[in-house]
Amino acid sequence: MGRKGDLLELIDGAPGGIVALSGSVWRWTHHERSRKAIETATQRIDASFATSSFGGPTSETTDEHLRVTIGLPNRWCLESESRVDVCDGSTRWIGVPSRVTEMDGNEGDFGETDVGMMIQPGTHLFGVLTFGDPVQESIAARPCWKVDATSTLGQYMPRLMMSAMRLGGVDHTFWFDAGTGIVLRHVGLVDGEPCTISEFKEVVLDPPISDLDFAFLRTPGAVVERQVDQMIRSAEMHGISLAGVDHDDLKAVQEAINAGMRPDRIAPDARLKMQKAKHVPVGDPPADEATARASIEYAYSHHDEVDESGRDLVNVQRGHRLAGALDEARKRIPVGADSTASIVVDGILFLRSDEAVVWFSVEVDGHRYPLASGREGRAVKMDGRWLIERATVVDLLGGAGVTVPLPEE
């Protein structure tokens, strides 16, 4: 089969019959490079993605040390100073040590955890990465295969985006354990620079485990809430009636909330307030917010402004060759030949001094177009100018069925 074929077979079968593992996982993240990796993956698949901020770290880099105990297929305990993720096979507890959500009746999917990708790599990596030729090395006296990999363009585009988000990086170097196929080390790269490093250390295969290893132990003073109770509280905050709904039935509560939160049942101002609540600034706003807001509104309202060539949109980040795609999208809007379409900004929230979330709508002859009302996008400041984030325009044009050309380097 050859060395590369043997490695791929090893990865596909990981963890090679092992039913329990323990050890520690160290993960280092460079946040700006990680964000760039996601943007690069977006460009490669000609898709759109806007990152959401939930009070994330403000430092340039962070590292985390996870204590890991795993009982396959659906039991695990992953804990650090800032994280709790425990599943006993039927109930999952996830959150930070001071506030934990109990997901009762949810046995969980180990593959959804950060460590899951390291233990069962074949499930996540095949189809989205192309592997090079491996070489033999060792880590902490464990024989392993070192191999480089890069993103694959093809039918697995959504999974390519997820790999960029979860692994970190567009190009990768892996060290796979020669005996089990699990990932002992991973370095995610963008433009040749590392954006994430993960290492599985002090690995013990098939250690003795018991139910106590997967029992959730509440930290003194910690708040533990059922997921369904959080959803009920959210419904109450938004004035959604749950009369006649079984408050212990997670699915029934979710369906009632979905029905009550349909866009046509919520006033625009209330919907905008709800949307803003999802985002938490991670830095200071611009020194002159009024001028910044005016600049963003100008960029959105003049989104179709072109350069001398008539090909590039000058108020869009990397707006190369987007003018033709915009004209094609306009032709597909079912309106009269004399109708005019415009973009209006509904709200702006600054995440930091050079980035903002923007809510906007498309109006045709002064009336909001139903399929493009209250959309969420981004604005970024580059070289002193506020521009519409390219992903926002790509998403909007894609909704009209228009294929958008890749940006020029």
Question: pTM here?
Answer: 0.61
Q: What is the pLDDT of residues 307-364, one digit of tens each?
A: 888 888 999 998 888 888 887 777 655 444 445 678 889 889 999 999 999 988 887 7
Q: Report which of 104, 107, 95, 105 is spatially closest to residue 219, judged by C-alpha positions.
A: 95
Q: Are residues 186 and 308 in the same domain?
A: no
Domain final position from 211, 238, 271: 211
Q: Are residues 20 and 122 in the same domain?
A: yes
Domain final position from 170, 188, 211: 211
Q: What is the pLDDT of residue 146?
A: 97
Interatomic CA distance for residues 178 and 147, integer angstroms: 12
Q: What is the pLDDT of residue 163?
A: 57
Q: Is residue 169 part of a domain?
A: yes
pLDDT per 10-residue tile (average), the chain, 409 residues: 85 94 95 79 52 46 93 94 90 86 72 88 84 95 95 54 67 96 95 94 96 93 84 72 85 77 55 69 89 93 87 88 80 52 86 91 70 80 91 78 65
Q: What is the CATH number of the domain that holds 316?
A: 3.10.450
Q: What is the pLDDT of residues 116-175, one digit of tens each?
A: 999 999 888 887 788 999 999 999 999 999 999 987 654 444 555 555 566 778 899 999
Q: Are residues 202 and 293 in the same domain?
A: no
Q: What is the pLDDT of residue 156?
A: 45
Q: Are residues 174 and 305 in the same domain?
A: no
Q: Are residues 204 and 78 in the same domain?
A: yes
Interatomic CA distance for residues 301 and 145, integer angstroms: 54
Q: What is the pLDDT of residue 51?
A: 41
Q: What is the pLDDT of residue 52?
A: 37
Residues 6+ apart with CB under 8 A from 190: 33, 34, 36, 37, 40, 169, 170, 171
Beta strand segments in 90-134, E: 92-96, 99-103, 129-131
Q: Are residues 96 and 191 in the same domain?
A: yes
Domain final position from 196, 211, 226: 211
Q: What is the pLDDT of residue 107?
A: 55
Q: Is residue 217 part of a domain?
A: no
The residue range of the domain holding 8 is 3-211
Q: What is the CATH number of the domain that holds 37?
A: 2.50.20.10
